[in-house]
Amino acid sequence: MENKTMNNKDFNGILIKKSTFKDVKMIERLIDKQAKKQPKFISGPPGTGKTSKFITQKYVELLKKYSHNEIIILSHTNVAADEIRDAILKLPEVKEKGLTKKSLKYKICTIHAYCKSRLVGRKEVFSYEDHKNLSVMDSLFKLQRVTESEFNSDKHKFYRYLADAYGRGNSLKEHWKTCNKQVYKPYNLNSIEQMVSLYEQYKHDNHVCDYADMIQDFIDKAVDPDINALIVDEAQDSNVPQRKALDKMATKTKEYYFVGDADQTIFEFAGSDADYYHRLSRNAEQLEQGHRCGVTINNLCKRIIRPVWDYYGYERTWKPTAVIGNHYHLPSLNKRCSAMETLLDKINNTNETFLFTYRGTPSDTWVKNFFKAEGIEFAHVGNTAHVPKKELRCHKLWPEFCKGTPMPLKQIKDFWDYAGSKVIVRGKGEESFEEWVDREYTIDYMIYHKYLKEDAGKERDFSLIRTQRGKKEDYEKRLIYIKKILSKGFDDGDVRVKYANIHTVKGLTFDNVIVDLTATRLEDYFTQLRLKYVAYSRGRFDCWTVASQGKYTLGVR
């Protein structure tokens, strides 16, 4: 029999023959060909060192048995993949073999990058420029306008819909039947179906691909790779097609590991199958010692996730750090109480970091309003500060500059970015300072050389000499916020207070975490528990719970 795959006819045909040794071996080969390799799941609750402990140690172990070309470690983001690779490159055993960042390219990377590296043909990824081209070709692409940063963060709802449908293994119509349609506004199924034909044709004509294409082309076209060991980091984030691709990669492997935490499966909307990972990891090898959460947060997280453990019949030995920590309760972010005073005191008088996290809108607006009202410097996770440090520095240092204090050239450039015609001599506002010597300069020097006006030093309030940007009302609110920050003492270090929704903060660590339990719609109970579990487990020391401000409460049936 020469067929490489086995169907029922083949199988039955062998069985009805007189049993021979040759027939038995044929059956075994056909079954082996069809059987999928089951990964060994390594369960690591939050902060147990899945990357820093297990993956790096396992790599050293594997390197004794296999060539580095036969060991593949995959993650879901470039940041995570880079962290793993950098940690591995620091290992003495790796240095001894002379391995470099270049030699580990496509050996430690994202799933998408690996799939793309195994393909011949189109290599360019669909970009913001491509999106702008499509927007010219069809106005439907302009129904939602996005910046390049927003596009790269998957904020455009059309592309998001395609990715979510594909990730769940659904057609466009199938996904529309079960999805939260509000998430994809202003698009509906009709407009999406109109746009997708042009989108696919554009990709074909311009030889570009999206991330779904990388995965699907690998599944359909790539040769089974010669891999001896495959490790998948944060495996529970893998969606339906990614799992198919991983199974194909593992066809020839001798060792196949999923490293992750089923209790942190929160990307179900994008195709992660929580039920599959809970069942797969039920008897998993455990990483037991936590290196992040103190006793209070650890116990809280265990209570939150307990119904999931009970349902699937497993237990996690997740040990806390030596820190005890506290749990505080806030009725809202607008009301003063002892818990709020404790929070503000910690923010204002320590160097600790703080994460404010929530399920979604409108909690993000409430959090930002709270920061502005209290004069707290803040930034969205992954972004720069709401008000850049250099802008705050200009407001703080301008009075000193006016008094005669010399300022470095960099600070002079920063003044120029904000100051207006009230102090800058006409025609000098576009000065680049490229030919200037990198040294300190005084206000007298700038006045003498006709860059600043004679009376520039008389107005020492920087808010009165800078140019207005944006709407007047928003600009005035910004100035009020800046004055509040400066009145409390300007911190020139990194922004310590950040905010983002729960899906964004997974994998991050902060000293303290503030969780808003507001939910705007009903969700699967276990989905809510996993989200709540992920939210609180970002913290090391203390946590604050902000009561739900609406009809629904996260984690409550």
Domains of the chain: 40-120+216-287 (3.40.50.300), 124-206 (no CATH), 301-385+495-553 (3.40.50.300), 389-488 (no CATH)
- pLDDT at residue 356 in the model: 99
d(CA 125, CA 277): 30
Under DSSP, is residue 382 helix (H, G, I), strand (E, B) or coil?
Answer: coil
Locate tokens 């439907």: which residue? 140
Of 14-23, 63-72, 515-524, where does mean pLDDT reach its minimum? 14-23
* pLDDT score at 121: 73
- Per the model's pLDDT, the better-predicted residue between 279 and 26 turns out to be 279
Q: Which of 375, 376, 356 is nearest to 367 (CA)?
A: 356
CB contact at 8 A, 378 and 499: yes
The chain-wide mean pLDDT, for the chain, equals 92
> How far is the C-alpha of 502 from the C-alpha of 500, rounded, in Å?
7
pTM, entire model: 0.87
Q: Which residue has the tokens 């505080």?
A: 328
Q: How far is CA 314 from CA 111, 273, 308, 442, in A?
A: 29, 18, 9, 69
Question: Left, alpha or beta for 49 (phi > 0: left; psi -120 to 50: alpha)?
Answer: left
- Please answer whether residues 231 and 58 qualify as being in contact, where contact means their C-beta atoms are separated by less than 8 angstroms: yes
In 3D space, the residue among 335, 354, 320 whose CA is nearest the CA of residue 48 turns out to be 320
Give percent of the chain with pLDDT exceeding 90.
88
Is it the case that residue 430 has pLDDT exceeding 50? yes
- Judged against a pLDDT cut of 50, whether residue 169 lies above it is answered with yes
What number is the average pLDDT over the span 173-196? 95
Q: 287: Cβ–Cβ under 8 A, 6 or more apart, which residues?
A: 42, 43, 44, 45, 48, 49, 50, 53, 54
Rounded Cα distance, 546 and 330, in Å: 5
CA nearest neighbour of 72 among 213, 315, 253: 253
Whether residue 227 contacts residue 253, with contact meaning beta carbons closer than 8 Å, is answered with yes
| Pairing mode, strands 518-519 and 552-553 | antiparallel
pLDDT of residue 26: 52
Residue where the block lists tokens 């044929």 = 26
Cis peptide before 186 (omega within 30 of 0): yes
- Tokens describing residue 452: 């600043």
- Crossing angle of helices 157-167 and 240-249, in 10° steps, is 50
pLDDT of residue 491: 83
pLDDT at 119 (0 to 100): 83
Q: Alpha-carbon dihedral of residues 539, 540, 543, 549, nearest 10 degrees? A: 0
Q: What is the pLDDT at residue 35?
A: 54
What interhelical angle do 389-402 and 472-487 show, nearest 10?
A: 70
**pLDDT one-digit tens code per residue, 75-131:** 999 999 999 999 999 999 999 999 999 999 999 999 999 999 998 776 789 999 999
| Residue partners of 76: CB distance under 8 A and separation at least 6 | 110, 111, 233, 234, 237, 238
Residue 77: CB atoms within 10 Å = 14
Amino acid at 556: V
Q: What is the pLDDT of residue 31?
A: 45
Chain segment 220-278, per-residue pLDDT in tens? 999 999 999 999 999 999 999 999 999 999 999 999 999 999 999 999 999 999 999 99
Mean pLDDT over 150-172 rounds to 94
Question: Does residue 6 have a pLDDT over 50?
Answer: no
Confidence grade of residue 132 (pLDDT, cut at 50, 70, 90) = very high
Band of residue 492 on the pLDDT scale cut at 50, 70, 90: confident
Q: Tell me the pairing of strands 255-260 and 407-408.
A: unpaired
* Range of lowest pLDDT (8-22, 199-213, 519-533): 8-22
**515 vs 7, more confident:** 515
What span, in angstroms and rounded, lies between the C-alpha atoms of 274 and 529? 12
Could you write out the three-class secondary structure of 321-364?
CCCCCCEEEECCCCCCCHHHHHHHHHHHHCCCCEEEEECCCCHH
| 362 upstream amide cis, omega within 30 of 0 | yes
> pLDDT digit string (tens) for 17-70?
444 545 545 544 444 444 568 999 999 999 999 887 899 999 999 999 999 999
| Residue 548: pLDDT over 80 | yes
Terminus-to-terminus CA distance in the chain, angstroms?
Answer: 57
pLDDT at position 16 over 50: no
Give the separation between CA 320 and CA 223, rounded to whole angstroms: 45
